[in-house]
Amino acid sequence: MSGRRLVLATRNDHKVVELRQVLASVLGRTGLGLVGLDAFEGLEDVVESGVTFADNALLKARYAAAATGLPALADDSGLAVDVLGGAPGVFSARWAGPLAGAAGLDKDEANNRLLLAQLADVPDEHRAAAFVCAAALVLPGDEPGTTGAEVVREGRCRGVVGREPRGTNGFGYDPLLVRPDGRTLAEHSAEEKNAVSHRGEAFRALAQDVEALLG
């Protein structure tokens, strides 16, 4: 890819495609091309050791900006259930831990099953939850291997945790979070999901920073 590039600190092609759609307008105006980490050789995976979504997003974006010398985007997100005090939170992707492999389930199914079991006796009026996303933009520094300006924006998508998974157009906990219209996020089309999702909200807010700093 020629021209100016913006790197998204992920190896998930689905996320790269999704973010190109969310940022289509600002990418068009700035002439920036968005690529993932797989566009570069020798990059390592960052350990998400932060205690907040913002911490983890910044860890990934700082590494990508320092390693590539390009402006970098990253996000961290998860499900925060009110009655669980905001858990699974930053542990959303690994909530079931080793139980997933022991039960012969994939990670998403194991996480969903464990969460549903934990909320089995919780009445519907106390099952409120929100997907939370922190999106970070980190610019490269003046010297190789350093970083410069940083911005973090947050987005939320509220709903309630359903009693069984529904829908196939999603991943993670998408089949569990029921929106006010009665559908889970996994029952939304890609366009509908981008319009209401936590990730879409966070990156639309960050798009203004991308244009201001890189336009």
| Pick from 194, 201, 51, 76: nearest CA to 134 | 76
Number of H helices, E strands in the chain: 7, 6
Annotation-wise, does 76 bind a ligand? yes
Annotation-wise, does 11 bind a ligand? yes
- With beta carbons less than 8 A apart as the criterion, state whether 131 and 177 touch: yes
Annotation-wise, does 199 bind a ligand? yes
6 forms beta bridges with 34
- With beta carbons less than 8 A apart as the criterion, state whether 75 and 134 touch: yes
Cα separation values, 108 from 89, 103, 104, 125, 133, Å:
15, 12, 12, 25, 18
Q: Is 181 a catalytic residue?
A: no
156 forms beta bridges with 132
Annotation-wise, does 172 bind a ligand? yes
Annotation-wise, does 13 bind a ligand? yes
**Catalytic one of 76, 82, 121, 209:** 76
Annotation-wise, does 171 bind a ligand? yes
Annotation-wise, does 193 bind a ligand? yes
Annotation-wise, does 188 bind a ligand? no
Annotation-wise, does 75 bind a ligand? no
| CA–CA gap between residue 88 and residue 92 (Å, rounded) | 5
Annotation-wise, does 14 bind a ligand? yes
Close Cβ partners of 171 (under 8 Å, ≥ 6 residues apart):
14, 108
Q: Which residues are catalytic?
A: 76
Q: Residues annotated as binding site?
A: 10-15, 76-77, 171-174, 193, 198-199
Q: Residues annotated as binding site for Mg(2+)?
A: 76
Q: Residues annotated as binding site for substrate?
A: 10-15, 77, 171-174, 193, 198-199
